[in-house]
C-alpha cells in the first residue's frame, strides 16, 4: 500500500501486489486505519491497477469500478509543412526562464480535474525538467503579450504536458501548437511522438490527438472505490 494526495482533494490509497480477496481486504484495512489516524486526509479513496482478466474480476467483485483510463498514443512523424498560428499568438524560443510560467499554467489548467492529477511543488517540477526534459529545442510555447497561452513540453521519448488556457481554447491553438512541436521534434531527429492522456478528459484530448494522426496503443484503466471515515474515527470501505 502507498498513498498520495491529488490536486482535487482526493487521498488515493493505491493497493498492489495482492493475489486474492483476503489479501485485498487486508490492504484495505491498513488503508482504513491510516485514513482514520490522519487528520490531513481529504477525500479518501481505495485505488488499484489490475492487469489480468482475473485481477479485474477480483477487484470488480470487491466493489471497484473504473474511475478513468490512461491511454498512450503515438504518431509516426513525417517531414513537416508550414504551420500557421491563430491571430495574436506568437511562438518564442523556450528557456529556463519560462519554468515558472509553464508551472503556473499547468497548475491552472489541470489542478481541478478528478483524473489523478498530482500538483507537484515548483521545486519538484524543475527537478523533473532537469532530469527528463532539458532540451528546450523540443518545447513549444505560445504567448499573447507576456501571458503564456498554450504550451507543449516534449522530450525525445515523451510529451508530458500539452495545455491551452481557457481564454484561448476553441481557436485551433492546440492543433497548431502540436504541429509546430512535431516540426521541432523532426528537426531534432525525433521520428515518433508519444504521449499519455486520459480518455475521459473533459477537453476531448483523445479526439484532438486522433485528428492529428495519433493512435491509441495502450490503455491503463484506473480502478477506485470510496473509503468512508465515520465521525467516530473508524474507517469503512463502501
* pLDDT bucket at 54, cuts 50 / 70 / 90: very high
Strand order in the sheet with 161-164: 90-92, 139-144, 147-153, 161-164
% of the chain surpassing 90 pLDDT: 82
Written as nine digits, the cell of 54 is 482475473
The per-residue pLDDT for range 60-107, each reduced to its tens digit, is 999 999 999 999 999 999 999 999 999 999 999 999 999 999 999 999
What is the C-alpha separation between 120 and 41, in angstroms, rounded? 17
Q: Is 70 exposed, middle or buried (0-12, 13-18, 19+ CB in 10 A)?
A: middle
Q: What average pLDDT does this structure show over 11-34?
A: 95
pTM comes to 0.87
Written as nine digits, the cell of 29 is 484495512
Domains of the chain (ranges plus CATH)? Answer: 2-68+222-237 (no CATH), 78-190 (3.40.630.30)
The per-residue pLDDT for range 117-146, each reduced to its tens digit, is 888 899 999 999 999 999 999 999 999 999
What is the C-alpha separation between 199 and 220, in angstroms, rounded? 10
3-state secondary structure of 32: helix
Model confidence at 238: pLDDT above 60: no
Distances (CA, A) of 126 to 25, 162, 164: 39, 17, 20
C-alpha triplet 174, 122, 48: angle, nearest 5°: 75
Q: Is 183 exposed, middle or buried (0-12, 13-18, 19+ CB in 10 A)?
A: middle
β-sheet bridge partners, residue 198: 70
Neighbours of 38 (CB within 10 A): 12
Amino acid at each position: 500500500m502507498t498513498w498520495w494526495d491529488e490536486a482535487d482533494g482526493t487521498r488515493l490509497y493505491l493497493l498492489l501486489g495482492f493475489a486474492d480477496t483476503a489479501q485485498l481486504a487486508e490492504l484495505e484495512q491498513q488503508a482504513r486505519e491510516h485514513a482514520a489516524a490522519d487528520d490531513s486526509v481529504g477525500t479518501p479513496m481505495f485505488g488499484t491497477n489490475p492487469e489480468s482478466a482475473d485481477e479485474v474480476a477480483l477487484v470488480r467483485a470487491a466493489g471497484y469500478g473504473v474511475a478513468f483510463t490512461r491511454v498512450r498514443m503515438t504518431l509516426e512523424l513525417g517531414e513537416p509543412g508550414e504551420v500557421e498560428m491563430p491571430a495574436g499568438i506568437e511562438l518564442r524560443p523556450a528557456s529556463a526562464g519560462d519554468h515558472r510560467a509553464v508551472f503556473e499554467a499547468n497548475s491552472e489548467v489541470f489542478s481541478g480535474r478528478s483524473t489523478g492529477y498530482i500538483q507537484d511543488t515548483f521545486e519538484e517540477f524543475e527537478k523533473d525538467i532537469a532530469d527528463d526534459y532539458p532540451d528546450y529545442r523540443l518545447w513549444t510555447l505560445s504567448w499573447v503579450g507576456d501571458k503564456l497561452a498554450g504550451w507543449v513540453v516534449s522530450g525525445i521519448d515523451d510529451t508530458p504536458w500539452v495545455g491551452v488556457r481557457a481564454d484561448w481554447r476553441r481557436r485551433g491553438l492546440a492543433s497548431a501548437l502540436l504541429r509546430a512541436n512535431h516540426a521541432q521534434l523532426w528537426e531534432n531527429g525525433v521520428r515518433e511522438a508519444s504521449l499519455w492522456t486520459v480518455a475521459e478528459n473533459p477537453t476531448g484530448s483523445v479526439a484532438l490527438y486522433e485528428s492529428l494522426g495519433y493512435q491509441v496503443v495502450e490503455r491503463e484503466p484506473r480502478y477506485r472505490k470510496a473509503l468512508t471515515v465515520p465521525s467516530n474515527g473508524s474507517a469503512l470501505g463502501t
